[in-house]
Chains A and B, each alone.
Chain A
């Protein structure tokens, strides 16, 4: 930071959607921060998207409503957008651009960090292998989250993904270690009531003191949504790699982020890709998701749980599709389970944590975890087939073993999957429940678990 300021230009050539084209500009830089001053003296922030031929295209975060070509000034600040960071950001609530929203002053900063972050050196990345307990049985037991992983939640509009996100944020912890744990929560384009719910929920559970909230509500300018995940991840990286904390970043809803990106792309008249999203959507998403990880020789980690609502529940939509290429698995929220009133309505057959195998077992969770998890997947899958069959031939047409699987499916959904929003289950409780499910089967049907584990954990009727 220097005392030297930037030059203010008053020749605005064009205002188009969220973009302002400034004329006769010299020495502007790509991504440079710009302060737009309206005729009424109001200041808005923006950044340079393109420079050349004496023109600069500026994307105004707070929108261009009310701006006019005459009387508007653009001041090129001479630096990129930075987020002030320090340990004091914990327990604070910010808006989508990183400005305090809790009525308190700006935090006293230790550093000012470029919100675009620095790419992680692939050579320095450490393979994620430590378990994070979310307290949600279906996640901990069947699609375990590990530190440094990026595991998205694919949901649909109107479903309970935000309840789940808040529950994970409240309950997540590192089991058996005294390491510091923090949650960075970025809400992008959520309703005011949802933003309030997140804030209140963390406050009432006492989890706010280890959390940082960035709230961009639906009535905030759409363009701000481009910045929200970046400021959140900047804070997360600081807490993780400078202060050695294990940070869980929950971002909801990435669909709103992608839509803001599409809005800018359309205003720039770029050639649209699938469903009008820009062709660089994959690259752009990866610049966010790839900020998760662990580094060799550093204590902390950044784990990401981005949430996206799939338009029309379409998993082939470009946003979930491209997200799936970058992330390490997915948790899919199922419409059928949601309609049945199951919470959390996670469809385990479409869900997967690719790094689970490295984060579970002896020393992390329990030695039988992997096997019992495979058996539960297998048995629930079979129960779904039996359910479909029963729909055609009726229960009377089923064999005795089919009926056992049918019962297992019901028990799984009612006792294991279903959980109260404030119920925090330990991994031991989760594994006991998984054995309860498996024990619905006769021993000869248990093919994926070693005999010694069956002897030890099988629950006789």
Chain B
């Protein structure tokens, strides 16, 4: 029986050692996994922060895209509407100018236009073109410009004159159409201001 008790004591010892080893291993494993978890927390937090910040960036980007393109679309439509309105004002104004009364100060205007043209061309040896409505006014002003002649050929314009030097080298367009065309950007601005756009 003595051998049995020695055997049992050996078995107990082995069991205790094994139990201790297992418990130690479990504790080490627990510590290691605790450590891994602790280590993972900052990584996880930084990963979490990165995902949130990337998400915010993406959301900002999309928001900018949506608001940007809708702003542009609205602005473009506004521009088209404004342009349409400006064009309407222009066409009404041009109609009124074309049908304006040719009496009174109109002959003075024609005289000024011829004076301006001779000054710019540097010669009074000129041929003048005008439309059918202004022929009389131009003809009566010609007496004050020696060397100037009115051509029978008429031009299509709202009013005013087109002047050519007699050698044909220089032309100066002083019709009302040309003057309006030159001032068109400023007139557009004035009309737009009436609609409450711009300064």
Binding site for B on A (CB under 8 A): 1-5, 7-11, 24, 26-27, 73, 84, 86, 88, 91, 102, 104-106, 108-110, 112, 203-209, 422, 424
A207 cross-chain contacts in B, Cβ below 8 A: 64, 68
Q: Which residue of A lies closest to B195 (CB)?
A: A108
The distance from the CB of A111 to the nearest CB of chain B, in whole angstroms, is 10
Question: Which of A7, A104, A106, A205 has the most chain B CB within a 10 Å cutoff?
Answer: A7
Q: How far is the CA of A108 from the CA of B183 in the complex (A)?
A: 13
Instruction: Check A2/B182 contact, CB under 8 A, given A8-B171, A109-B189.
Output: yes
| Of B73-81, B92-100, B128-136, the one with at least 4 CB within 8 A of chain A | B73-81
The number of chain B residues touching the other chain, given as a range, is 35 or more
The distance from the CB of A114 to the nearest CB of chain B, in whole angstroms, is 15
Q: B179 near A5 (CB under 8 angstroms)?
A: yes
Q: A9 near B173 (CB under 8 angstroms)?
A: no
The distance from the CB of A399 to the nearest CB of chain B, in whole angstroms, is 32
Within the complex, which residue of A11, A73, A208, A424 is in contact with B72, where a contact is CB–CB below 8 Å?
A208
Query: A105-B83, A205-B65 given. 14 additional CB < 8 A pairs?
Result: A4-B120, A9-B170, A10-B168, A10-B170, A10-B171, A84-B185, A91-B72, A104-B83, A108-B82, A108-B192, A206-B64, A206-B65, A206-B69, A208-B69
A86 cross-chain contacts in B, Cβ below 8 A: 198
Q: How far is the CA of A104 from the CA of B188 in the complex (A)?
A: 15
The distance from the CB of B81 to the nearest CB of chain A, in whole angstroms, is 11
Q: Which residue of B lies closest to A429 (CB)?
A: B53
Q: B68 near A1 (CB under 8 angstroms)?
A: no
Interface SS majority for chain B: helix
Complex interface bits, B146-183 against A, C-beta within 8 A gives 1, otherwise 0 = 00000000000000000000001111111000110011
A1 cross-chain contacts in B, Cβ below 8 A: 182-183, 185-186
The distance from the CB of A93 to the nearest CB of chain B, in whole angstroms, is 11
User: Does chain A have a CB within 8 A of B8?
Assistant: no
Q: How far is the CA of A58 from the CA of B65 in the complex (A)?
A: 45
Q: B172 near A8 (CB under 8 angstroms)?
A: yes
Instruction: Check A7/B64 contact, CB under 8 A, given A86-B198, A106-B185, A206-B69.
Output: no
Question: Which of A5, A10, A106, A112 has the most chain B CB within a 10 Å cutoff?
Answer: A5
B173 cross-chain contacts in A, Cβ below 8 A: 5, 8
User: Does chain A have a CB within 8 A of B121?
Assistant: yes
Closest 3 CB pairs of A and B: A206-B68, A206-B64, A105-B83
Q: A104 near B80 (CB under 8 angstroms)?
A: yes
Q: How far is the CA of A206 from the CA of B66 in the complex (A)?
A: 7
User: Does chain A have a CB within 8 A of B51?
Assistant: no
Within the complex, which residue of A3, A7, A11, A109 is in contact with B183, where a contact is CB–CB below 8 Å?
A3
Q: How far is the CA of A105 from the CA of B191 in the complex (A)?
A: 15
Q: B174 near A5 (CB under 8 angstroms)?
A: yes
Q: Which residue of A lies closest to B171 (CB)?
A: A8
